[in-house]
Chain A
Amino acid sequence: MHRPLRLAALVAAAALTAAGCAAGGSSVSGGGGDKVTMTFLTFETPNLNAKYWDDAIARASAKVPGVTIKKLVAPSIDRTGYAKQLAATGQLPDIMIAVNPNGFAQSGQLAPWTDQELADFTYPHANPIGGKVYVLPFNTQPTPLVYYNKQDFAKAGIAAPPTTYADFLADCAKLKDAGINPIVVGGGGNDTFAATYPWVASVGTDVYQGTPDWLSQRADGKVKFDSPDFTKATQKVADLAKAGYIDTAGLSRSYADTEQAFRDNKGAMYPMGSWFAASADQTKPPFDVGVFAWPSDDGRPTVPAYTGGGMSVSSKAPNVDLAKRWALAFMEDKQNLDASVHADGSIIAIKGYIPPTDMGPVYNETLRAYNEAAASGNVVNAFNSETGDGSLPPGMSDVVNSAAVDLISRHKSAQDTVSFLDAQYDKANR
């Protein structure tokens, strides 16, 4: 072979070899150590920051020798979208946390958890897909509860949080009359989800309370979004927006800015996931924070919640058993669970777990509100968070998020919104 060509061929071969090595996320190192490197997909929020993940990874790795974890951080809170992009290029991470398993599971990309592996979990069969569980159901997140500014309530002459929807509307009117914006929402940029919570809560009280498997019925074509109950729930949000009870300025705010807006007293009520409790206890706002469940018409304390949020393991991981052991070690480590409770207000769903005794008042109130609803059988699915059989088809979650913004900004009526959801649902299933 001619010398320059031979050189080029060598360079090309070396480059291709290097590319081949770099494409995969996992490797088994040579030598006698047999240490397996595995990729772990996380996401960061103001609560779950880099240090939280690094510390938790170190603790799990100490318990399961032979694993080197390479942390991947999703570029936004949408870790499921990022996991899909990685999967499309053959780089699905070996271990993932809080990723919606829909699609991955059905296409055989995830390893199911066995009953034995799930034995320690309180709700071992939460959100199953085809009867199998692909995400460790390690915690329950009420989504949303209503966090409120006690000083604002007092200023508006409201003695106690509302228990019925009629009381809630009356309190909104009192707050508005007192010059206080009643409800803070978010929804800007990538954080559109933060606009959905009044709607998720209304669907909980007006749809799921009466028909817990409503979304599965939608998947079977037995009900539609323009059915009377779903339309009523949607109309409630439209009416709140029309009455000026929801601050539309929030629709351009990021999630972090939305929380800051509540802290800055730009509104009296903040419908948000239970993770806000941790934030409110860690960095106390300049007012006392209370918690109540979004009121239903008949006063039953309905709490929408999602149980899951744990680890999934890729069926193509270099050592699936080892990956599962590491994931379980991560999830069941007491220090990690305590850190998750402290950082993210998690309500741990692992048998025998007792939260740290030094938890703050907002977390304790959150736990009380959840336990109250659970004791009376009033915990329902959180619409738009479901991940098991019958949940929304891929892409629909974003549609719901954007529809919530349209609803609150009064760009679409309630009737137009539910019709839009039906059309998009059919399109997503095409």
Chain B
Amino acid sequence: MAARSTPLRHAPPAGPGPAARRARRWPKVSRALLFAAPGLVIYTAFVLVPLITNVANSFTDLNTFRPSTHWVGLANYRALLDDADFHQALHNTVVLTLIVTILPNVAGLGIAMLLDRSGWFTNALRSVFFVPTVLSAVVVSVVWQKILTDDGLFNRALHAVGVGSPPGWLSDPDLALYSIAFIMSWQVLGFCVVVYLAGLQSIPAELHESAVIDGAGALASFRHVTWPLLAPAVTINTVMLMITGFKAYDYIQVITNGGPGSGTTSTIAFSIVQTAFTGNHVGYAAAMATVMFVGIALLSAGALTVLQRREVTL
């Protein structure tokens, strides 16, 4: 009698071999690659390749008009250490970034709390605050330049109310950087308001009611309920604003062209363009760009790490 073979109780079901499985998975992988391809191609072409090229250029003396380019090692980076113009640009960038990170964050939160209610007027105001955000930075710069020149609208208004010699908002080297920081803050304020409004509206009303029942006043409710739960919004706003401040170029180019005078409002991004395309020192500008890239990356990573630590998940 032939023994009838019985399949093992726990044996895996019979199926295709590894080669067949790979063959079956391949269409899925190729389809996924197909969908990712446009993004990958664009990212590689417009981010990765320029980034790598820039870092490579930073170790050379590449000049727009010089036929031969030489490897100079770290010479460009060493020169940056002694470059007073770069130090001034770095200082200006840090000041600008600090103001543009703090001012719209604080003002945006305050305005968002005022607008966190329903009604047609509040809805209209939300749109009003957001309008500057959708405008081009160049348009905003031109408009504010007209307002803030020495004989512009703002100083004429100050004259009208009796201010004899109003400040030169854009012509005074000690004031111009702060004027630009204000203009940038004004434009990004709407973005902060929207992010904070979204954060505020995601906080369950019951939490505030519980706090009130527990005897919390407005300040305590803000401190113990609103502020902790707004942490994700704070993270988004802070990181976005830091990046905006650090890469400021268009406002400077249009409003002051780095002046008044020598580099008083020059930022790193502005110096890079000037150095590369006016001075023709592309290799040196590439070193500046690499420092700027590393700076933004470190600052963003640091801010994200610190801010995400205090985020609360409901």
Residues of A in contact with B (beta carbons under 8 Å apart): 2, 4-5, 8, 12, 81, 84-85, 87-88, 103-104, 106-109, 187-192, 248-254, 257, 261, 266, 394-395, 398-399, 402-403, 405-406, 409, 411-412, 420, 427-428, 430
CB of B194 to closest CB in A, whole Å: 30
CB of B165 to closest CB in A, whole Å: 10
Q: Which 9 A-B pairs have the closest CB atoms?
A: A395-B279, A249-B150, A103-B65, A406-B261, A252-B171, A252-B170, A251-B171, A107-B65, A252-B149
B171 x A248 contact (CB < 8 A): yes
One of B99-107, B129-137, B241-249, B250-258 contacting the partner: B250-258
Q: What separation, in Å, do the CA atoms of A402 and B41 have in the docked complex?
A: 42
One of B27-35, B216-224, B288-296 contacting the partner: B27-35
Q: What separation, in Å, do the CA atoms of A395 and B152 have in the docked complex?
A: 30
B171 x A190 contact (CB < 8 A): no
- Neighbouring B residues of A395 by C-beta, 8 Å: 274-275, 278-281
B interface secondary structure, majority: loop
Contacts A188-B171, A248-B168: A84 and B263 contacting too (C-beta < 8 A)?
A: no
- Neighbouring B residues of A5 by C-beta, 8 Å: 30, 34
Q: What separation, in Å, do the CA atoms of A108 and B67 have in the docked complex?
A: 9
With beta carbons under 8 angstroms apart, the residue of B171, B253, B275, B277 that contacts A88 is B277
- Neighbouring A residues of B85 by C-beta, 8 Å: 427
Contacts A8-B37, A87-B64: A412 and B277 contacting too (C-beta < 8 A)?
A: no
B232 at the interface (CB under 8 A from A): no
CB of A399 to closest CB in B, whole Å: 7
B233 at the interface (CB under 8 A from A): no
Q: What separation, in Å, do the CA atoms of A398 and B37 have in the docked complex?
A: 44
With beta carbons under 8 angstroms apart, the residue of A189, A249, A411, A420 that contacts B256 is A189
B199 at the interface (CB under 8 A from A): no
- Neighbouring B residues of A108 by C-beta, 8 Å: 67
A394 x B150 contact (CB < 8 A): no
Per-residue A-contact encoding for B142-182, CB less than 8 Å = 1, 0 else: 00010011111000000000000000111111000000000
B279 x A409 contact (CB < 8 A): no
- Neighbouring A residues of B280 by C-beta, 8 Å: 84, 103, 394-395
Q: What separation, in Å, do the CA atoms of A239 and B262 have in the docked complex?
A: 20
Residues of B in contact with A (beta carbons under 8 Å apart): 27, 30-31, 34, 37, 41, 64-67, 85, 145, 148-152, 168-173, 253-264, 274-282
B260 x A405 contact (CB < 8 A): yes
A402 x B150 contact (CB < 8 A): no
A257 x B149 contact (CB < 8 A): yes
A88 x B34 contact (CB < 8 A): no
Q: What separation, in Å, do the CA atoms of A242 and B305 have in the docked complex?
A: 53
| 30 A–B contacts from the bound complex (CB under 8 Å) | A2-B30, A12-B37, A81-B277, A106-B65, A107-B64, A107-B67, A108-B67, A188-B145, A189-B145, A189-B254, A189-B257, A190-B254, A190-B257, A192-B257, A248-B168, A249-B151, A249-B171, A251-B260, A252-B145, A252-B148, A253-B151, A254-B145, A395-B280, A402-B259, A402-B261, A409-B173, A411-B173, A411-B264, A412-B261, A412-B262
- Neighbouring B residues of A191 by C-beta, 8 Å: 257
Contacts A81-B277, A409-B260: A4 and B34 contacting too (C-beta < 8 A)?
A: yes
Q: Which residue of B lies closest to A249 (CB)?
A: B150
CB of B196 to closest CB in A, whole Å: 33
CB of A370 to closest CB in B, whole Å: 30
Q: What separation, in Å, do the CA atoms of A409 and B149 have in the docked complex?
A: 15
Q: Which residue of B lies closest to A193 (CB)?
A: B257
- Neighbouring A residues of B30 by C-beta, 8 Å: 2, 4-5
Q: What separation, in Å, do the CA atoms of A412 and B262 have in the docked complex?
A: 10
A85 x B171 contact (CB < 8 A): no
Q: A190-B253, A257-B149, A409-B171 are in contact. List 11 more A-B contacts (CB 8 A).
A: A2-B30, A4-B30, A107-B66, A188-B149, A249-B168, A252-B149, A395-B278, A395-B280, A398-B278, A402-B260, A411-B173
- Neighbouring B residues of A253 by C-beta, 8 Å: 149-151
With beta carbons under 8 angstroms apart, the residue of A192, A394, A412 that contacts B279 is A394
CB of B81 to closest CB in A, whole Å: 14
With beta carbons under 8 angstroms apart, the residue of A103, A189, A248, A403 that contacts B64 is A103
- Neighbouring A residues of B41 by C-beta, 8 Å: 12
Q: Which of B261, B277, B282 has the most CB of A within 10 A?
A: B261
Q: What separation, in Å, do the CA atoms of A399 and B253 have in the docked complex?
A: 15
B261 x A405 contact (CB < 8 A): yes
- Neighbouring A residues of B278 by C-beta, 8 Å: 81, 84, 394-395, 398
Q: Which of A4, A12, A88, A189 has the most CB of B within 10 A?
A: A189
B277 x A85 contact (CB < 8 A): yes
B262 x A188 contact (CB < 8 A): no
Q: What separation, in Å, do the CA atoms of A257 and B148 have in the docked complex?
A: 13
With beta carbons under 8 angstroms apart, the residue of B27, B64, B257, B262 that contacts A420 is B262
- Neighbouring B residues of A254 by C-beta, 8 Å: 145
B262 x A399 contact (CB < 8 A): yes
A252 x B279 contact (CB < 8 A): no
Contacts A84-B280, A107-B66, A266-B151: A252 and B257 contacting too (C-beta < 8 A)?
A: no
CB of B16 to closest CB in A, whole Å: 20
Q: Which residue of A lies closest to B282 (CB)?
A: A88
B150 x A8 contact (CB < 8 A): no
CB of A385 to closest CB in B, whole Å: 16
B260 x A252 contact (CB < 8 A): yes
With beta carbons under 8 angstroms apart, the residue of A81, A88, A402 that contacts B262 is A402
Q: What separation, in Å, do the CA atoms of A266 and B149 have in the docked complex?
A: 14
CB of B163 to closest CB in A, whole Å: 14
Q: What separation, in Å, do the CA atoms of A85 and B280 have in the docked complex?
A: 10
Q: What separation, in Å, do the CA atoms of A319 and B145 have in the docked complex?
A: 44
B65 x A188 contact (CB < 8 A): no
- Neighbouring B residues of A261 by C-beta, 8 Å: 151
Q: Which residue of B lies closest to A4 (CB)?
A: B34
CB of A314 to closest CB in B, whole Å: 14
Q: Which residue of A lies closest to B26 (CB)?
A: A2
